[in-house]
Amino acid sequence: MNSLDQDALRQALGQFATGVTIVTTPGLDGNPVGVTANSFNSVSLNPPMVLWSLAASAYSRSSFEAADHFCIHVLTAAQEPLSRKFAMQGSDKFSELRWVRGLGSVPLLEEYVARFQCRKAHQFPVGDHVVFVGEVVDFSRSDSRPLVFHGGRYAIAERRKMERIARELGEEEPEPGDRRKKGNPPP
């Protein structure tokens, strides 16, 4: 038994800002299944691999474990209500929602910041979760603003210009033609 205060640990972990995703797969009966997850992470570019985790007690666990494919949808700032809907158990999450079938019959949401269709490569239990690793076989992106989760609350990410960052840090603004102006680090 671990002696760490679980509530305090949850609050400390919540200080790491994450994106918000909905992960989908076909259910055991063929009907669409989906969950809200903020445990998404890039693993490798070559081969292209990502991972996410699901609570071992989740109702949808058996569907994700049985499926050969899943899709991770990074949500837009306007999709907080959808994130809340997919975080609930037992509701018809796909009712009144526009979606199509993708690779492996995976349900694909039509709105997203980024969408990664994956072939499941690995799954394994870790503590009170199951980790799923997928090989990205197709992806797409948009320029929408992402939904963010931090400190137990939803937030919206904001892009900042390099000139503004330099002013905030008390540094000189980049000269015309300086690589930093394009968002690149200095040589």
Q: How confident is the model at residue 181 (pLDDT cuts 50, 70, 90)?
A: very low
Q: What is the pLDDT of residue 2?
A: 66
Task: Give 9-23 pLDDT, tens digit per residue.
Answer: 888 877 878 899 999
Residue indicated by tokens 């050969």: 68
CA distance 20 to 28: 25
Task: Give 26-48 pLDDT, tens digit per residue.
Answer: 999 999 999 999 999 999 999 99
Q: pTM of this prediction?
A: 0.82
List of E strands, 39-104:
41-45, 48-55, 69-74, 99-101
Q: How confident is the model at residue 25 (pLDDT cuts 50, 70, 90)?
A: very high
For 1, which DSSP code? -
CA distance 97 to 102: 16
Task: Give 72-89 pLDDT, tens digit per residue.
Answer: 999 999 999 999 999 998
Q: Which domains does the chain have, with CATH numbers?
A: 6-156 (2.30.110.10), 160-187 (no CATH)
Q: What is the distance between the terminal CA atoms of the chain, rounded to a whole angstrom?
A: 50
Task: Give 100-146 pLDDT, tens digit per residue.
Answer: 999 999 999 999 999 999 999 999 999 999 999 999 999 999 999 99
